[in-house]
Amino acid sequence: MKIALVGIGKIARDQHVPSIAASNAWELAATCSRAGRVDGVPAFTDLDEMLESHPDIPVVSLCLPPVPRFEFAKRAILAGRHVMLEKPPGATLSECHALEDMARKAGVCLFASWHSREGARADAARDWLADKVITRAHITWREDVRKWHPGQDWVFDPGGMGVFDPGINALSLMTKILPQPVHLKSATLEFPDNRQTPIAAQLDFTDGVSADFDWRQTGPQTWDIEVWTEAGKLHLTDGGEHMMIDGVPAGQDPSLIGEYPRLYAQMADLVAQSKTDMDLSPLRHVADAFMLGRRVPVDAFHF
């Protein structure tokens, strides 16, 4: 199938473009971006012009920041195109629900993609935990915003989500592997004096689940989930790429290597089956954190 990429920034270049190029299911047929482009691929700066010029492209993948994404998704859906949404699928829950309603009425597929759910050991962790009694769980998700979003002030603007930009990856993995849903009880959100979104967060969920997110970590990055059960301890590291049971490596590599290649394989299946996948549980947890969170001021942050 032909596919168009909208928003040619770091995540598109690092993940989307190579994943599409390596897939037998997809052909990158056009891009739309204010400045970025992919060599050898027709480039546009206006979405409507791209859609009108390429009625042969049935699928649009949106790699834009969350705030402008709704309008682009809406226009693509109303033009009869299937849409794949980079995480998070929108800036608010309401606009995500609106997009799902539009897609169903238009008869097109809509995919809220959560790349951390495609970690190499995510399925194995879900399967191992399926029949276990969980006593507690803790998420440690600490990384360096300067490394992953260099100079991108939008992540600290309203709608940019702050530390929940990476933290939602942890929540997407959590909601995949835990056998029973949990909900937030309390949260502490650390806001730099000069920013509109938090740089760190501590979360307390039901059933003994807790999380620690921080965007100020330098050196090695930490993306871990630990789950204690009556049958032993499961430990996922590197965002789900590695798994241990009581300290012993476990789980097998999936047949298709890489989070984004697996996402694009899912999108191909959804289009083939005329299905929509708009699971919003990770975003719901983020919304709850902003509603319940106790705000704590911290030192100003500068790139």
DSSP labels, 168-194:
HHHHHHHHHH-SS---EEEEEEEEETT
Judge whether 129 and 201 are in contact, CB under 8 Å.
no
> Is the domain of 123 the same as that of 240?
yes
Q: Which residues pair with 163 in a beta bridge?
A: none
> Is the domain of 180 the same as that of 199?
yes
> Is the domain of 90 the same as that of 141?
no
**Domain-terminating residue out of 112, 139, 170:** 112
What are the backbone angles phi and psi of residue 97, rounded to the nearest 5°? -65, -40
> Is the domain of 64 the same as that of 100?
yes
Does residue 152 lie in a domain region? yes
Domain extent at residue 225: 117-249+286-298
Does residue 216 lie in a domain region? yes
Which position has the token pair 């803790």? 138
> Is the domain of 107 the same as that of 122?
no
Does residue 272 lie in a domain region? no
> Is the domain of 122 the same as that of 108?
no
Q: Which residues are catalytic?
A: 87
**Domain-terminating residue out of 87, 112, 137:** 112
Positive or negative, the Cα torsion across 261, 144, 303, 160?
Answer: positive
Number of folded domains that form the chain: 2
Q: How far is CA 193 from the centre of its chain?
A: 27
- Predicted local distance difference test score (pLDDT) of residue 256: 79
* CATH code where residue 226 lies: 3.30.360.10
Does residue 293 lie in a domain region? yes
Judge whether 270 and 276 are in contact, CB under 8 Å.
yes
* CATH code where residue 6 lies: 3.40.50.720
Residue (of 145, 143, 176, 141) closest to 160 by Cα position: 145
Does residue 279 lie in a domain region? no
Does residue 101 lie in a domain region? yes
Does residue 72 lie in a domain region? yes
**Domain-terminating residue out of 97, 112, 127:** 112
> Is the domain of 228 the same as that of 93?
no
Does residue 262 lie in a domain region? no
- Predicted local distance difference test score (pLDDT) of residue 123: 96
Mean pLDDT by 10 residues, the chain (303 residues): 95 95 96 94 96 97 94 98 97 97 98 96 97 97 96 94 98 98 98 98 98 97 98 97 97 86 97 97 98 98 97
